[in-house]
Amino acid sequence: MADPDILIRARGLTKVFGGSVAVDGIDFELRRGEVFGFLGPNGAGKSSTMRMIGCVSPPSAGELTVLGLDPVRDGPAIRARLGVVPQEDTLDVELTVRENLLVYGRYFGLRRDVIAERTARLLDFVQLADRAGDQVEPLSGGMKRRLTIARSLISEPEILLLDEPTTGLDPQARHVVWDRLYRLKQGGVTLVLTTHYMDEAEQLCDRLVVMDRGRIVAQGTPRDLIAAYSSPEVLELRFPVGEQEQAAEKLADVPADRTEVLADRVLLYSADGEATLAEVRRRGLEPATTLVRRGTLEDVFLRLTGRRLED
Amino acid sequence: MPEPGPRRGPAIRQGWRPPQAAAAGPARLRRIQLRIVPAVLLAARRAGLGGQGSARLIERHARVYRRTWGVLVSGVFEPLFYLLSIGVGLGRLVGTVPGPAGRPVGFASFVAPALLATSAMNGAVLDSTYNVFFRLKYAKLYDAALATPMRADEIALGEIGWALIRGGLYGCAFMAVMLAMGLVHSAWATAAIPVALLIGFAFAGAGMAATTFMTSWQHFEYIMLATMPMFLFSTTFYPLGVYPRAIQIVIECTPLYQGIVLLRGLTLGAVGPGLLASVAYLAVMGAAGLHLAGRRISRLLLR
């Protein structure tokens, strides 16, 4: 009955905390070898979903199958085959970098020689080989995150779960983490990640679901989602303070697929941003700044929910 | 920069055994368990409580303390100092006191088993409260462990097992001193170490269960409020007979008193079937604490 390439299947998956519904009946499937993302703002229910997949939070209702097993009944057996990078670092600060991998590998019941061999490879992979003997605490946020990724790989998991893998990192550290995750993807690892960064989702995910207030509001490849809910190009206009409202009225009849008036700028969705800009100028409007860019997942989210991702 | 690929990166899908097979190595695991897990844990595991995960947690603690072994060793000295100052020093003035069944015994011989019981209690309480609280709330150690195949009940059992190993070391050191000072008067004293471990088990179980209900460091004052008077009044330094009957009953209900009665009976050679009641008291206390602690950790972390 079960397709062996479907690693996770959720039907009507629901999580309720007290009286509030964190995850509200979502359906999705994860296929072997893909990078699957949950994109949504804070509080959308992404982390709750990840915790249910990771068998550390029992579903309140609905069906969930992970690697063909039931997370409530077979939690330890499933967890033996998962790698987890939690949102908050849970590195062992009383141990060194290398010992973190050793002890964590032992939690999985791996043999010391197997762990030692993998540790050398993994510390190399996350560029921490020269810090192997150091304590964890003085490491930078980016290094800790990379160490957490290495730790999650010590058991050579079949699925790697990453909850907000680059939240709180500076841009440079984010790029290093992305690069490592991209290499894992190239190596055929199945990844599930949550993020509220649209660029992260766009760069890494083969397929993603957009979540808002516990529900899935759209799903598909980043490209398909942008094609369906945005336009090839977006013209962004900023007007001097206080002038945006009048300007927006004048923009009403500019030919565009759609116009969004945000607090600080106006977005015009069209196939050709430059042509639209020419139309704006023809109406005697002189925005303070103009930008023509391609449509992104941010636009998809805005279209679907009327709100921005990173507020 | 090396090219990415299955050979170089941690290739997840090819070239390695499924985790179950890798996790096996049963012979080796068994050897390690026999080396570090006391019989009580193996028995618990046979009873279906788990134990592999517990052994791995104990292994982690042993690794941490290998670097800070001074902290471990310092625990040996506290009961020793009490024994020297009060048992021996003050004992010079006291002479003898009425021991079990009213027979007079030297003051140091009277106090020493009580100090062994107290150190078993203090060691277990310290490990299962402060240290567990830190690991639970701040170090997120259990959150990390629960992302692996380890279960909440294995964590509880591992913590208690570690407290017992530590307590066992202290107990052995203290018994060695008692022997050297001629404070052991019966062959029954060979059972003193297992009984000290039982006392540790009772207090570690209760302490850990209590810790799962705590929300701030201030709550540890309550632990002190329970253990300090028990240390002072549970017939550590004088016999139960000095109290009026009403207070005697209160004292007899405390777990430390039960532990002291047991150890004093063993080292002074006053052994009777009545001691089994004390054993049962402590065993039930520890088992109930262990059970509650495992459930509470599940409840707190697996939400």
Q: How far is B21 from chain A (nearest CA, A)?
A: 10
pLDDT score of B108 more than 80: yes
Residues of chain A found within 8 Å of residue B56, distances taken between Cβ atoms: 103, 106-107, 109
Domain that holds residue A239: 231-294
Do residues B109 and B204 touch, judged by C-beta distance below 8 A? no
Q: Give the pLDDT confidence score for residue B50 in this predicted structure.
A: 52
> ipTM, 2 decimals?
0.89
Q: Which residues pair with A223 in a beta bridge?
A: none
| Partner residue opposite A76 with nearest CB, options B24, B59, B151 | B151
- Is A307 within a domain? no
Q: Give the pLDDT confidence score for residue B16 in this predicted structure.
A: 34
- Is B7 within a domain? no
Whether A77 and A20 share a structural domain = yes
Minimum Cα–Cα distance from A122: chain B residue: B10
Domain boundary among A171, A197, A221: A221
- Is B148 within a domain? yes
- Interface probe with A: pick from B1, B8, B12, most Cβ of A within 10 Å: B12
The rounded distance, in Å, linking the Cα atoms of A239 and B173 is 80
**Least confident range of B44-58, B157-171, B265-279:** B44-58
Closest by Cα among B62, B85, B284, B82 to B168: B62
| Per-residue confidence band for B209, with pLDDT thresholds at 50, 70 and 90 | very high
- Is A300 within a domain? no
The rounded distance, in Å, linking the Cα atoms of B226 and B231 is 9
Whether A152 and A235 share a structural domain = no
pLDDT score of B68 more than 90: no
Minimum Cα–Cα distance from B14: chain A residue: A188
Contact B19 A80 (CB under 8 A): yes
- Is B115 within a domain? yes
Whether A39 and A174 share a structural domain = yes
Q: Give the pLDDT confidence score for residue B23 in this predicted structure.
A: 37
| Per-residue confidence band for A42, with pLDDT thresholds at 50, 70 and 90 | confident
Whether A131 and A269 share a structural domain = no
- Is B192 within a domain? yes
- Interface probe with A: pick from B148, B150, B153, most Cβ of A within 10 Å: B148
Q: Give the pLDDT confidence score for residue B271 in this predicted structure.
A: 92
pLDDT score of B69 more than 50: yes
Question: A158-183, pLDDT tens digit by residue?
Answer: 999 999 999 989 999 999 999 999 99
Q: What is the CATH number of the domain that holds A142?
A: 3.40.50.300
Residues of chain A found within 8 Å of residue B8, distances taken between Cβ atoms: 125
- Is A226 within a domain? no
Minimum Cα–Cα distance from A106: chain B residue: B56
Q: Give the pLDDT confidence score for residue A310 in this predicted structure.
A: 66
Q: How far is A253 from chain B (nearest CA, A)?
A: 51
pLDDT score of A241 more than 90: no
Q: What percent of chain A has pLDDT over 70?
A: 99
- Is A308 within a domain? no
| Pairing outcome for strands A190-195 and A35-39 | parallel
- Interface probe with A: pick from B60, B137, B138, most Cβ of A within 10 Å: B60
- Per-chain mean pLDDT for chain B: 84
Is A176 at the interface with chain B, CB within 8 A?
Answer: no
- Is B54 within a domain? yes
Question: B278-299, pLDDT tens digit by residue?
Answer: 999 999 999 999 999 999 999 9
As a whole number, mean pLDDT of residues A98-109 equals 97
Minimum Cα–Cα distance from A15: chain B residue: B303
Contact A188 B14 (CB under 8 A): yes
| Per-residue confidence band for A2, with pLDDT thresholds at 50, 70 and 90 | low
Minimum Cα–Cα distance from B298: chain A residue: A56
Q: Give the pLDDT confidence score for residue B136 in this predicted structure.
A: 94
Helical (H) or strand (E) element with A198: helix A198-204
Residues of chain A found within 8 Å of residue B50, distances taken between Cβ atoms: none
The rounded distance, in Å, linking the Cα atoms of A187 and A185 is 5
The rounded distance, in Å, linking the Cα atoms of A207 and A219 is 7
Domain boundary among A221, A250, A273: A221
Is A190 at the interface with chain B, CB within 8 A?
Answer: yes
pLDDT score of A245 more than 90: no
| Per-residue confidence band for A248, with pLDDT thresholds at 50, 70 and 90 | confident
Q: Quick count: other Cβ atoms within 10 Å of Cβ A141?
A: 14
Whether A197 and A238 share a structural domain = no
**Contacting residues for B242 by C-beta, under 8 A, at least 6 apart:** none
- Is B122 within a domain? yes
Whether A216 and A143 share a structural domain = yes
Whether A151 and A266 share a structural domain = no
Whether A34 and A125 share a structural domain = yes
Contact A80 B148 (CB under 8 A): yes
Helical (H) or strand (E) element with B96: strand B96-98
As a whole number, mean pLDDT of residues B11-22 equals 34
- Is A240 within a domain? yes
Whether A197 and A287 share a structural domain = no
Domain boundary among A198, A221, A244: A221
- Cα of first residue to Cα of last residue in chain A, in angstroms, is 43
- Is A64 within a domain? yes
Contact B147 A106 (CB under 8 A): no
The rounded distance, in Å, linking the Cα atoms of B256 and A20 is 46
Whether A32 and A107 share a structural domain = yes
Running DSSP on this structure, what letter comes out for residue B3?
A: P
As a whole number, mean pLDDT of residues B172-199 equals 94
- Is B18 within a domain? no
User: Chain A 15-44, CB below 8 Å of chain B: which residues?
Assistant: 17, 33
pLDDT score of A55 more than 60: yes
Helical (H) or strand (E) element with B104: strand B104-106
Minimum Cα–Cα distance from B28: chain A residue: A111
Whether A205 and A240 share a structural domain = no
Alpha helices in A29-170 (DSSP H): 46-53, 75-79, 97-107, 112-125, 141-153
- Interface probe with B: pick from A23, A49, A106, most Cβ of B within 10 Å: A106
Q: What is the CATH number of the domain that holds A287?
A: 3.30.70.980
Q: Which residues of A47-62 are buried (b: 16+ CB within 10 A; e: fewer)?
A: bbbbbbbbbbbebeeb
As for how many domains chain A has, the answer is: 2
Contact A121 B25 (CB under 8 A): no
pLDDT score of B29 more than 70: no
Contact A76 B6 (CB under 8 A): no
Residues of chain B found within 8 Å of residue A114, distances taken between Cβ atoms: 22
- Is B155 within a domain? yes
As a whole number, mean pLDDT of residues A271-275 equals 93
Running DSSP on this structure, what letter comes out for residue A69?
A: B
Minimum Cα–Cα distance from A101: chain B residue: B60
The rounded distance, in Å, linking the Cα atoms of B301 and B303 is 6
As a whole number, mean pLDDT of residues B6-16 equals 34
Domain that holds residue B277: 38-301
Please compute Rg for chain A using Cα positions.
Answer: 22
pLDDT score of B26 more than 60: no
User: Chain A 207-246, CB below 8 Å of chain B: which residues?
Assistant: none
Q: Where are the beta strands (DSSP E) in chain A?
A: 6-17, 20-31, 35-39, 61-66, 82-85, 159-163, 190-195, 207-212, 215-220, 233-238, 258-261, 266-270, 289-294
Whether A173 and A275 share a structural domain = no
